[in-house]
Amino acid sequence: MRTQVCIIGGGPSGLLLSQLLHRKGIDTVVLERKTRDYVLSRIRAGILEVGFVDLMRAAGVSERMDRESFAHDGTVIACNDEQFRISFREHTGTDVVVYGQTELTRDLYDAREAADGKVIFNVENVVINEVETDAPYVTFDVHGKQERIDCDFVAGCDGFHGVSRQTIPLSVRREYEKVYPFGWLGILSETPPVHEELIYSCSDRGFALCSMRNANLSRYYIQCSLSDSPDDWSDENFWEELKRRIPSAAAESLVTGPSIEKSIAPLRSFVTEPMRWGRLFLCGDAAHIVPPTGAKGLNTAASDIHYLYHGLLQFYEEKDSEGIDRYSEKALARIWKAERFSWSTTNLLHRYPDMSEFDLKMQLADIAFLRDNEAAQKVFAQNYVGLPY
């Protein structure tokens, strides 16, 4: 089998890259370890930066997103029983879009199927070969038979545990990591959102987030211990704890109901450098992870796709390798800024187990400064809606 770009990973970043390249006449094959149904069963983020929205439109898959998504021009920050709003539109002239990652991925799969795009599911034992040469190839097993794809380039969109990053020798790559001493317990419920915008809440009992997917599907989170299990938390206990951590007005209007999904996500900041080795390019979680506090996980993957897509386009259309040669440099410059925002927002709103009285006073002072200072709110808004590519 022969293609121009072999994409490892059939999540949203791999599918988006495949669809963008297809519209420019560049052939791809996508390899996915699981089934389509499995990929679509994963509950993930729902906040899209303006850059991601533009990429979806460029890929020709924005029709349902434009019709069904919610535009948010601000967010609410709460501390104990006080709250204030940061206006994205006032400070940046734009907003963010709420559209679930599951639906976004479904749209991309539908587009690839409509275009007869090649997506191979249930692949095993993927090995990326000869990426330091001009003739890389990928071998894998599917249905008990080994297959081979010869290609010009390999895009590693296969996540933190995938094979792509591990293909880069330890003598070449350097990894940076911070593991946080808490996780997020999240539930999905078929209930109306408690507020028209997201509420990020810091309290004496820990962090909480009120989010949504649509008018009758809400996503809520509370900070929890890494030793907790979802089974430790009944729905009733979750709702009661959430009410203790959000402003009383929100707690009183909160509509509760049975959870349809419940999980705990540990928090981590992680970056690997470089994001390119020969003709292998890392994208998304294969290269970096952010805590979800700043809504940057899916969006940082999108910025990688932006740089790689334009670099490949420049290579194929103009015979110019400048874009792919500088891919890692450009992507990492933006990634570290997104990492900083996610890290700082996590520190701003979470309670660490070893915080001293001085630390708590500093956290309250940081929140008060954000509340009272227009310049600080502008910086927050610029980062939240997404820094320019």
Mean pLDDT is lowest, of 8-17, 35-44, 108-117, 175-184, for 35-44
pLDDT of residue 174: 98
- Mean pLDDT (the chain) is 96
**pLDDT 10s digits, 145-192:** 999 999 999 999 999 999 999 999 999 999 999 999 999 999 999 999
14 and 115 fall within a common domain:
yes
Quote the domain boundaries for residue 141. Answer: 5-72+95-177+268-345
102 and 157 fall within a common domain:
yes
pLDDT of residue 43: 66
In a domain, 104, yes or no: yes
* Number of domains the chain is built from: 2
By the 10 Å C-beta count (0-12 exposed, 13-18 middle, 19+ buried), 40 is classed as: middle
Give the sign of the dihedral formed by CA 260, CA 265, CA 270, CA 272: negative
pLDDT of residue 93: 96
307 and 276 fall within a common domain:
yes
114 and 166 fall within a common domain:
yes
258 and 244 fall within a common domain:
yes
By the 10 Å C-beta count (0-12 exposed, 13-18 middle, 19+ buried), 263 is classed as: middle
The number of helices, as runs of H, and strands, as runs of E, in the chain is 14, 20
Q: Does the pLDDT value for residue 44 go beyond 90?
A: no
In this structure, what CATH number is given to the domain that contains residue 63? 3.50.50.60
200 and 52 fall within a common domain:
no
In a domain, 30, yes or no: yes
In a domain, 136, yes or no: yes
Tell me the pTM.
0.95
**pLDDT 10s digits, 258-284:** 999 999 999 999 999 999 999 999 999
Asked whether 328 and 307 are in contact (CB, 8 A), the reply is: no
d(CA 171, CA 304): 23
Active site residue ranges: 72, 200, 292, 296, 384
What secondary structure does DSSP assign to 233-285, as a single string? --HHHHHHHHHHHS-HHHHHHPPP--EEEEEEEEEEEEEEE-SEETTEEE-GG
Quick one: what percent of the chain has pLDDT higher than 90?
A: 95
In a domain, 85, yes or no: no
Q: Does the pLDDT value for residue 8 go beyond 90?
A: yes
pLDDT of residue 215: 86
In a domain, 56, yes or no: yes
d(CA 82, CA 25): 54
25 and 159 fall within a common domain:
yes
Asked whether 329 and 374 are in contact (CB, 8 A), the reply is: no
Asked whether 160 and 289 are in contact (CB, 8 A), the reply is: yes
Quick one: what percent of the chain has pLDDT higher than 70?
A: 99
**pLDDT 10s digits, 344-363:** 999 999 999 999 999 999 99
In a domain, 322, yes or no: yes
55 and 99 fall within a common domain:
yes
Asked whether 327 and 275 are in contact (CB, 8 A), the reply is: yes
Q: Does the pLDDT value for residue 55 go beyond 70?
A: yes
209 and 321 fall within a common domain:
no
In a domain, 63, yes or no: yes
Query: Mean pLDDT over residues 313-337, rounded?
Result: 98
pLDDT band at 100 (very low <50, low <70, confident <90, very high): confident
In a domain, 77, yes or no: no
255 and 284 fall within a common domain:
no
In this structure, what CATH number is given to the domain that contains residue 223? 3.30.9.10
198 and 56 fall within a common domain:
no
Query: Mean pLDDT over residues 130-152, rounded?
Result: 97
55 and 124 fall within a common domain:
yes
